[in-house]
């Protein structure tokens, strides 16, 4: 569980916001002496499947089996899912006032509680009613989950449980379960193809973390035995090029540059030529992120794509959109915009370590269904984690290990 603790630690602001909010909600209307759990049916009929929780934090860009070169971005299979054991159906306790004397039976921890070997016997409990559901909704909205997603999560949590007395831990478990259910379909590592070079176009607004993410990914791919070349396609800003060179050095990967103000498409073409000549496995192309003039940026990206297609008509094979979690709901607008100006095939969400807005990732998954390949949880080279929905949901809701 070391990785889990690390993730929770990194997602501290989001975790603590939700965790404290949930504790406060239960305490506010809670009963302290209510030892027996009412959570006899911890999960609805379709219990989510849980991915194998053993991936390494440093392996955000795993290199699974290679596939034939695709025309469009064809995705790697998900890591082997492990079916969640079906919850043991127990008697449904009708909503009733708290018992005057504690029943002898031990409280039954929920699914994650059982998984983590934890009980919730001594915790205060609160009856799940409309009032509480509204408070839960508000809490989720405050964590940037967005109204629609917050409503979906809370109504799924309520299903079959209204009137039951739940502890904060049980609510966290339920919430984590529902969040994981939304996120599971989008948790997919960046697909790797047999095509050489596999061209990865990296897009996103300035400051979203593109350069840093390219450096982290390059380091991981190199570590996985891939030959990587980086093209510093944001030729507009000398500082951006220098920064990418620093990351290239850290990752031990060559960075191709062009004079400030020169045509990024021409650099992309040269980089493609060199990557082909050198037999590189991956060519990662950084791009400018000036959304202020959207039509210019659209034209710039379109030109890069046109030019690299002269060398390989199936390129780019991935278009990664890098999003900054600290921008909260604005990240949703960015997906909208970049999907219009480029063929976004997957997302990387950065800066989840420094924000209380981690819920935006759930909103993104719910709204767009785009694959989430990895999450940035710090500024160091190995601070790029694979996206694991179960771990993310547990960390986000503040579940203890
Ligand atoms: N805390 C934290 N900081 C990050 C993360 N990813 C990137 N950063 C920081 O965010 C800032 C911007 O990152 P860049 O990689 O330069 O972003 P960019 O999109 O390339 O920006 P431009 O170069 O302006 O186009 C830098 O200070 C990074 O160190 C992350 O996951 N966590």
Output the CA 206–ligand 1 centroid distance in Å.
9
What pLDDT sits at residue 121?
62
Q: Is the ipTM of this complex over 0.85?
A: yes
* 353 is an annotated ligand-binding site residue: yes
Candidate of 10, 201, 207, 219 to mutate for ligand 1, largest count of ligand atoms within 8 Å of Cβ: 207
Q: Provide the residue ranges of all domains of the chain, joining segments of one domain with +.
A: 198-397
CATH class held by domain 198-397: alpha beta
pLDDT top residue among 2 and 362: 362
Q: Which two tokens stand for residue 343?
A: 């063929």
Output the CA 166–ligand 1 centroid distance in Å.
41
Q: Which atom of ligand 1 is nearest to the CA of 375?
A: 31
Reported as a single tens digit per residue, the pLDDT across 286-317 is: 999 887 778 888 899 999 999 999 999 999 99
Output the CA 215–ligand 1 centroid distance in Å.
11
Read off the pLDDT of each residue in 360-370 and give the average, rounded to a whole number.
96
* 351 is an annotated ligand-binding site residue: yes
* 286 is an annotated ligand-binding site residue: yes
What pLDDT sits at residue 32?
58
Output the CA 208–ligand 1 centroid distance in Å.
6
Reported as a single tens digit per residue, the pLDDT across 325-335 is: 999 999 999 99
* 208 is an annotated ligand-binding site residue: yes
Q: Which atom of ligand 1 is nearest to the CA of 237?
A: 23
Q: Is residue 114 predicted with pLDDT exceeding 60?
A: no
Candidate of 203, 379, 381, 383 to mutate for ligand 1, largest count of ligand atoms within 8 Å of Cβ: 379
Q: Residue of the nearest CA to atom 7 in ligand 1?
A: 209
Q: How confident is the model at residue 236 (pLDDT cuts 50, 70, 90)?
A: confident
What pLDDT sits at residue 3?
55
* 167 is an annotated ligand-binding site residue: no
Read off the pLDDT of each residue in 154-178 and give the average, rounded to a whole number.
94
DSSP string, 249-289: HHHT--EE---TTS-HHHHHHHHHHHHHHTT-SEEEEE---
Q: Which two tokens stand for residue 259?
A: 């004079």
Reported as a single tens digit per residue, the pLDDT across 13-29 is: 777 778 888 888 988 87
Reported as a single tens digit per residue, the pLDDT across 169-182 is: 999 999 999 999 99
Separation CA 37–CA 16 (nearest Å)? 24
What pLDDT sits at residue 36?
54
What pLDDT sits at residue 37?
56
Q: Is residue 190 predicted with pLDDT exceeding 60?
A: yes
What is the percentage of the chain residues whose pLDDT exceeds 70? 75
What pLDDT sits at residue 83?
33
Q: Is residue 382 predicted with pLDDT exceeding 50?
A: yes
User: How many degrees, rounded to 5, is the angle at CA 271 between CA 320 and CA 378?
Assistant: 40
* 227 is an annotated ligand-binding site residue: no
Nearest to 72 by CA among 346, 373, 377, 378: 346
Reported as a single tens digit per residue, the pLDDT across 79-113 is: 333 333 333 333 333 333 333 333 333 344 544 45
Q: Which atom of ligand 1 is nearest to the CA of 240?
A: 23
Output the CA 213–ligand 1 centroid distance in Å.
8
DSSP secondary-structure letter at 72? S
Output the CA 362–ligand 1 centroid distance in Å.
21
Reported as a single tens digit per residue, the pLDDT across 44-89 is: 434 433 333 333 333 444 444 344 333 333 334 333 333 333 333 3
What pLDDT sits at residue 401?
54
Output the CA 245–ligand 1 centroid distance in Å.
14
What pLDDT sits at residue 357?
87
The set of protein residues with a Cβ atom below 6 angstroms from ligand 1 is 204, 206-212, 234, 240, 243, 289, 350-351, 353-354, 376-379, 383
Q: Is residue 42 predicted with pLDDT exceeding 50?
A: no
The burial of 162, by beta-carbon neighbours within 10 Å (0-12 exposed, 13-18 middle, 19 or more buried), is given as middle
Which residue pairs, CB below 8 angstroms and at least 24 apart, start in 88-95? 89/40, 89/41, 90/40, 90/41, 91/40, 92/40, 92/41, 92/160, 93/36, 93/38, 93/40, 93/164, 94/163, 95/38, 95/127, 95/162, 95/163, 95/164
Reported as a single tens digit per residue, the pLDDT across 248-265 is: 999 999 999 999 989 999
What pLDDT sits at residue 74?
34
* 290 is an annotated ligand-binding site residue: yes
Nearest to 129 by CA among 177, 165, 100, 91: 165
């Amino acid at each position: 569980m070391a990785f889990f603790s690390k993730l929770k630690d990194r997602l501290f602001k989001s975790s603590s916001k939700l965790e404290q909010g949930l504790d406060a909600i239960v305490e506010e209307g809670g009963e302290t002496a209510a030892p027996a759990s009412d959570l006899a049916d911890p999960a609805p009929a379709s219990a989510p499947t849980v991915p194998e929780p053993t991936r390494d934090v440093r392996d955000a860009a795993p290199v699974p089996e290679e596939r034939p070169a695709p025309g469009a971005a064809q995705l790697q299979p998900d890591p082997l899912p492990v079916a969640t054991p079906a919850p043991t159906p127990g008697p449904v306790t009708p909503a009733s006032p708290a018992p005057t004397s504690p029943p002898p039976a031990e409280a039954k921890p929920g699914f994650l509680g059982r998984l983590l070997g934890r009980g919730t016997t001594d915790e205060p409990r609160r009856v799940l009613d409309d009032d509480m559901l509204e408070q839960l909704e508000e809490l989720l909205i405050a964590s940037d989950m967005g109204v629609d997603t917050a409503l979906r999560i809370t109504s799924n949590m309520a299903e079959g449980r209204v009137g039951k007395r739940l502890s904060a831990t049980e609510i966290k478990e339920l919430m984590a379960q529902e969040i994981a259910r939304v996120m599971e379909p989008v948790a997919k590592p960046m697909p790797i193809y047999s095509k050489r070079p596999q061209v990865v176009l990296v897009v996103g607004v300035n400051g979203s973390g593109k350069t840093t993410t390219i450096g982290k990914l390059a380091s991981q791919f190199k570590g996985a035995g891939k030959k990587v070349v980086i093209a510093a396609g944001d030729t507009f800003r000398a500082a951006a090029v220098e920064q990418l060179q620093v990351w290239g050095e850290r990752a031990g990967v060559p960075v191709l540059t062009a004079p400030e103000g020169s045509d990024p498409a021409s650099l992309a073409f040269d980089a493609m030529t060199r990557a082909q000549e050198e037999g590189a496995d991956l060519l990662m192309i950084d791009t400018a992120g000036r959304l202020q003039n959207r039509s210019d940026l659209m034209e710039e990206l379109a030109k890069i794509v046109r030019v690299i297609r002269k060398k390989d008509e199936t390129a780019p094979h991935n278009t990664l959109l890098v999003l900054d979690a600290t921008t909260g709901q604005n990240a949703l607008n960015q997906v909208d915009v970049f999907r219009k100006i480029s063929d976004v095939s997957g997302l990387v969400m950065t800066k989840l370590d420094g924000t209380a807005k981690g819920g935006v990732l759930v909103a993104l998954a719910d709204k767009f269904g785009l694959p989430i390949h990895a999450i940035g949880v710090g500024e160091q080279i190995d601070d790029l984690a694979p996206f694991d929905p179960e771990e993310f949901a547990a960390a986000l809701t503040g579940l203890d290990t």
